Amino acid sequence: MLRIHANQCDEDPFSAQFLTVFDEAVASTLPADEELRRALHDYMTAATAEVSTVFPTTATVADALPMPRWSWSGPAA
Ligand code: HEM
């Protein structure tokens, strides 16, 4: 997944807009559950931050990275 997003650009014109649209999609399709919305927002904030680390044209992606896990209270061990 990181390789799909890697080496797109040295600036990051995507992340803020990505998060805005994600939050709008959640708000317009899922129940008005603040805990759910916060957990999804926090997860996508972290996931987008990780993806954006490989945007630079010189970034590399290591082999065999662990699958991130998320819980209601943040990253899971
Ligand atoms: C700034 C944030 C992001 C942007 C602008 C973005 C954009 C894109 C684009 C353009 C593709 C299609 C690539 C291609 O087919 O050549 C893609 C694929 C994909 N993205 Fe993202 N992405 C972002 C963040 C994320 C995040 C945070 C995740 C997961 C948590 C994610 C998961 C995926 C997956 C799984 C695919 C492959 C889908 C498939 O072809 O089966 N992306 N993304």
Give 23-71 pLDDT, tens digit per residue.
999 999 999 999 999 999 999 999 999 999 999 999 999 999 999 999 9
Cα separation, 5 vs 51, in Å, equals 7
Which residues, 6 or more positions from 76, have their beta carbon under 8 angstroms from its beta carbon?
A: 69, 70
Q: Is the CB of 47 under 6 A from ligand 1?
A: yes
- Pocket perturbation via mutation, ligand 1, pick of 1, 2, 3, 5 by most ligand atoms within 8 A of CB: 5
The domain locations on the chain are: 2-56+70-75
Q: Is the CB of 5 under 6 A from ligand 1?
A: yes
pTM value? 0.93
Distance (Å) of CA 45 to CA 22, 36, 39, 64, 66 = 10, 14, 10, 23, 18
| Alpha carbon distance 13, 72 (integer Å) | 29
